[in-house]
């Protein structure tokens, strides 16, 4: 049974956390359980969802941490120690986590941190992605939540979507596990488009976690192979 830590923030509503909890209940995720939900903000709604489901929670506010004279490096080390020693985590899932995690953190969990990104990403550092219909669009990197969705609308992309990938020290360039394309409609606003993207996220994130928990993801030359 893999021990999963889910990291969230207060930017979303914790809907992806809810999708993971539900997939575990329905046994769509087998061989995995959430051992802790961590937020960098105490008002993240996902914390309440976790508590309702009797999942332990931790709040690690970076600003508070800095007020005590500590550095970002120390924060990442503390988080790494907490998740490895106290919670003995096997998999870290960033389900709406807004802080970029440094190498100091990643070294605790090599190839064990997966991120959900509200845009389509290619493997590696290419700056475009080839869609399923052969068309190419720019990769949306470094933007969070609404801003990433707005970018796709502003740049008149025909399609956007969401990606689940392993993280590496290079932001939004890690090996892709799953992605889902979502068509952009002529009258779409951020709200309507993001709603459809989230519906897809609620499928691909639990699916990727299930693959991980059942040892079905292999990394070869920085690419994910699903076995
Ligand atoms: C998700 O849409 C996820 O892709 C995004 O935060 C949202 C959390 O929503 N992640 C990022 O922007 C990280 N770059 P939720 O709280 O409803 O699950």
Per-residue pLDDT, 209 = 98
Confidence of residue 48 (pLDDT cuts 50, 70, 90): very high
- How far apart are the CA of 189 and the centre of ligand 1, in A? 17
What is residue 124's predicted lDDT score, i.e. its pLDDT? 83
Report the separation in Å between the CA atom of 194 and the middle of ligand 1, taken as the mean of its atom positions.
10
Query: Confidence class of residue 199 from pLDDT cuts 50, 70 and 90?
Result: very high
Give just the sign of the alpha carbon dihedral 157, 142, 171, 201. Answer: negative
CA of 178 to the centre of ligand 1 (A): 15
Which ligand 1 atom lies nearest to the CA of residue 45? 16
Does residue 117 carry a catalytic annotation?
yes
Per-residue HEC secondary structure of the chain comes to CEEEEEEECCCCCCHHHHHHHHHHHCCCCCCEEEEEEEECCCCCHHHHHHHHCCCCEEECCHHHHHHCCCCHHHHHHHHHHHHHHHCCCCEEEECCCCCCCCHHHHCCCCCCEEEEECCCCCCCCCCEEECCCCCEEECCCCCCHHHHHHHHHHCCCCEEEEEEEECCCCCCCCCEEEEEEEECCCCCCHHHHHHHHHHHHHHHHHHHHHHHHCCCEEEECCEEEEC
Nearest CA to ligand 1 atom 5: 96
CATH number at 2-125+163-181+195-226: 3.40.50.170
Mutate to test the pocket of ligand 1, among 14, 16, 199 (most ligand atoms within 8 A of CB): 16
d(CA 184, CA 46): 28
Does residue 125 surpass a pLDDT of 90? no
Q: Residues enclosing ligand 1, CB less than 6 A?
A: 11-16, 95-96, 116-118, 144-145, 162, 198, 201
pLDDT digits (tens, 9 = 90+) for 141-198: 999 999 999 999 999 999 999 999 999 998 889 999 999 999 999 999 999 999 999 9
Cβ distance 2 to 213 under 8 Å? yes
Model confidence pLDDT, tens digit, residues 59-105? 999 999 999 999 999 999 999 999 999 999 999 999 999 999 999 99
The reported pLDDT for the residue numbered 9 is 96
Percentage of the chain surpassing pLDDT 70?
A: 100
Site to substitute for ligand 1 among 145, 146, 161, 182, most atoms within 8 A of C-beta: 145
Region 48-57: mean pLDDT is 98
Query: For residue 115, how far is its CA from the centre of ligand 1 (angstroms)?
Result: 9
Q: Where are the domains of the chain?
A: 2-125+163-181+195-226
pLDDT value of position 40: 97
The string of pLDDT tens digits covering residues 4-43 is 999 999 998 999 999 999 999 999 999 999 999 999 999 9
């Amino acid at each position: 049974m893999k021990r999963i830590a889910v990291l969230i923030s207060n930017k979303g509503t914790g809907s992806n956390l809810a999708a993971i909890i539900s997939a575990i209940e329905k046994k769509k995720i087998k061989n995995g359980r959430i051992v802790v939900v961590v937020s960098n903000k105490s008002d993240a709604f996902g914390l309440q969802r976790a508590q309702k489901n009797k999942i332990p929670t931790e709040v690690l506010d970076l600003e508070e941490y800095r007020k005590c004279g500590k550095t970002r490096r120390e924060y990442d080390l503390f988080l790494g120690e907490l998740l490895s020693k106290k919670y003995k985590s096997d998999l870290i899932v960033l389900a709406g986590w807004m802080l970029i995690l440094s190498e100091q953190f990643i070294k605790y969990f090599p190839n064990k941190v997966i991120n959900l990104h509200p845009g389509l990403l290619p493997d590696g550092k290419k700056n475009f992605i080839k869609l399923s219909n052969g068309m190419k669009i720019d990769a949306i990197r470094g933007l969070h939540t609404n801003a990433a969705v707005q970018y796709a609308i502003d740049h008149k992309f025909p399609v956007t979507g969401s990606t689940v990938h392993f993280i590496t020290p290079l932001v939004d360039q890690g090996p892709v596990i799953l992605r889902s394309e979502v068509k952009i409609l002529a009258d779409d606003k951020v709200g309507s488009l993001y709603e459809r993207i989230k519906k897809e996220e609620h499928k691909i994130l639990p699916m990727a976690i299930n693959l991980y928990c059942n040892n079905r993801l292999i990394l070869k030359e920085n690419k994910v192979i699903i076995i």
